[in-house]
Amino acid sequence: MAAQNKSNTASQATPKAFTDGVAAFYDGNYSAAINEFNKAQTQDPAYKPTYLWIGIAYVASGEKSMAYNTWLRMPAETNAMTTSMYLKGMAEWREGKTNDAKYWFRNTFNYKNTPAYKLSTTALARLEKGDQAPPVSEWPALALLPGSKVNKNNPTASEVKNENAPQTNTANTKLPAFIPKGMYQCYDMYTEANNPSRTSYKEILTIVDGSTYEYKSGKTSRGRYTYDSKTGTITFVTGPYSGGNPTAKLGYRTGDNKPMITLSYTFANLGKDEDFCVLVKSN
């Protein structure tokens, strides 16, 4: 089931062709989506989200240059322009062109009051951790485009919704001898203008046993870890998390007291970034 994404973009009436374009996009019929979006653009050439949608559909069709041309002729406006920078970074990341992706993500750093700045910061952090680019089908929701949808059936899909504050409850709690086994949903939480409770859902971390973990973000891979029950410190010895060298600790989330693993990363250019993985299904 797909849920409508509540964009923080100002709402306005859109042509039927725009709605038909969105439907075609989510059906995977990108050529039809492009045709419908082009009709919508002709009817309302000032509506900037249409240009962003057309570009994403072109990327999905393997026509990145057409996407860039579409974004280039989009009516000038800071938020739309910086969102196109973010999307260009995503397009380069998708093709494995990491230096080009970083160039476009960092271009938004001159516009720190725009949503694209935080989107790019998060994407750049994931890129530097070695993550794969999210599927193109998720990009409209990630970019908060009007009409975009969130896939509720895919726990690794990026979503936007309210989430309990990721605070670790240390009062009157005793760390367990072993990390509770099960599936942990990982997410970023951060604040941005007009959207103070944005949550970006990411990978699934599964604690398989006392020394093995599983990482799922599109593809699944395993690694080994050690755990210090006195301090709650987790060290990822092998596997996907070992490369990013995060500082990881086990605790309990304030409010519902669910086991929560906090992963802290430090980047030379971006500073500190934290991910939070909460136990959602016990083994």
Q: What is the pLDDT of residues 231-254, one digit of tens each?
A: 999 999 998 888 767 889 998 887
Any idea of the CA torsion for 202, 261, 214, 190, to the nearest 10 degrees?
10
Do 128 and 187 belong together in one domain? Answer: no
Query: What's the chain's Rg over C-alpha atoms?
Result: 20
Do 137 and 243 belong together in one domain? Answer: no
Do 191 and 58 belong together in one domain? Answer: no
User: Is the pLDDT confidence value at 115 over 70?
Assistant: yes
User: Is the pLDDT confidence value at 40 over 90?
Assistant: yes
Q: What pLDDT does residue 105 have?
A: 95
Last residue of a domain, one of 108, 130, 151: 151
User: Is the pLDDT confidence value at 173 over 50?
Assistant: yes
pTM for this structure? 0.60
Domain of 111, in residue numbers:
2-151
172 in a structural domain: no
| CATH code, 56 | 1.25.40.10
Separation between Cα atoms, residue 216 and residue 198, nearest integer Å: 22
Percent with pLDDT over 70 in the chain: 78
Q: What integer is the mean pLDDT of 54-83?
A: 95
User: Is the pLDDT confidence value at 26 over 50?
Assistant: yes
DSSP alpha helices (H): ranges in the chain? 16-26, 30-43, 48-60, 64-72, 78-94, 98-107, 115-129, 139-142, 240-244
Q: What pLDDT does residue 254 have?
A: 79
Q: Which two tokens mark 168?
A: 């670790």
List CB contacts of 152: < 8 A, sequence separation 6 or more: 1, 2, 3, 159
Number of domains in the chain: 2
Q: Which two tokens mark 95?
A: 């093709």
Do 34 and 132 belong together in one domain? Answer: yes
Q: Which two tokens mark 234?
A: 């987790």
Least confident of 28-42, 64-78, 191-205: 191-205
Rounded to 5 degrees, φ, ψ at 23 are -60, -45
Distance between alpha carbon 185 and the CA centroid of its chain, in Å? Answer: 13
Do 98 and 231 belong together in one domain? Answer: no
Rounded to 5 degrees, φ, ψ at 152 are -80, -15
Do 114 and 200 belong together in one domain? Answer: no
Percent with pLDDT over 90 in the chain: 48
C-alpha closest to that of 222 among 204, 240, 235, 236: 240
Q: Mean pLDDT for the chain?
A: 81
Q: What integer is the mean pLDDT of 46-68?
A: 96
Do 216 and 96 belong together in one domain? Answer: no
Do 51 and 191 belong together in one domain? Answer: no
Q: What is the pLDDT of residues 186-231, one digit of tens each?
A: 887 543 334 444 456 667 899 999 999 998 876 788 999 999 999 9
Which residue has better confidence, 107 or 5? 107
Do 120 and 208 belong together in one domain? Answer: no
Do 41 and 101 belong together in one domain? Answer: yes
